[in-house]
Amino acid sequence: MSSTFLSDEELMRQLQGGDQIALEELYSRHSKKVWSYVSKRVAREHAEDLYQDCFIKLVDRKDSWKGQPFVLWLYVVLRNLLIDFYRSQARGKRLIDSLSEAESNSMSNVDFDELIEGAPHETRKLLNDFFQKGFTYKELAHEYELSEISLRKRVSRALAFLKKGD
């Protein structure tokens, strides 16, 4: 059967089995949509790299596909790629900013410690790791052995706790 008559999911199964023709067909079907998605979100010089990286990730992460609708999975891979890109851009900017203005932090460690003083120990540790040490959600999720979503909820709850002033 020609690969043009197979569903994306069937092609993905074939790709998992090592069929490069399946990759070519998936690329043919989705490359324009991927380009459109990426090029609307980043500058052209970055879009070209991210566009190619998406299909590289598709191959690298093919074993993480567990039979869910392919298009949804592809866009999750693509979205995560963009998030990683934005984070790397932000880290680069933070590094440049910290080098150029090392002493001009808007909040000193003492001010921060006073702000979180009334919070429970775990909340203080989490906020300190996130805001003072600069860990990413992904890094903290690994450190705290939580999913990234659970960790984001914890940070959100911790901030809500501080807003209340309890």
* Closest to 148 (Cα-Cα) out of 80, 74, 59: 80
Cα angle value 11/46/12 (rounded, 5°): 5
Name the pLDDT band for 152 (thresholds 50, 70, 90).
confident
pLDDT of residue 109: 57
Q: Residue range 138-161: average pLDDT?
A: 85
Q: Give the H or E element holding residue 126.
A: helix 121-127
Give the relative orientation of helices 20-39 and 70-100 as an angle to the nearest 10 degrees: 50
Percent of the chain topping pLDDT 70: 81
Q: Is 135 left (phi over 0), alpha (psi -120 to 50) or beta?
A: beta
Given a cut of 90, whether residue 12 has pLDDT beyond it is yes
- What's the mean pLDDT when you consider all of the chain? 82
Q: Does pLDDT of 166 surpass 50?
A: no
CATH 1.10.10.10 at 106-164, yes or no:
yes
Locate the domains of the chain by residue range.
Answer: 3-99, 106-164
Tens digit of each residue's pLDDT (9 = 90 or more) over 33-86: 999 989 988 888 889 999 999 999 999 999 999 988 888 899 888 988 888 888
* Residue 97: C-alpha distances to residues 90, 104, 157 (Å): 10, 10, 29
Rounded distance, CA 17 to CA 30, Å?
20
* pLDDT value of residue 15: 95
In the CATH hierarchy, which top-level class contains the domain 3-99? mainly alpha
Q: Is pTM, for the whole model, over 0.75?
A: no
Residues 29, 56: Cα–Cα separation, whole Å: 16
The position carrying tokens 């300190």 is 128
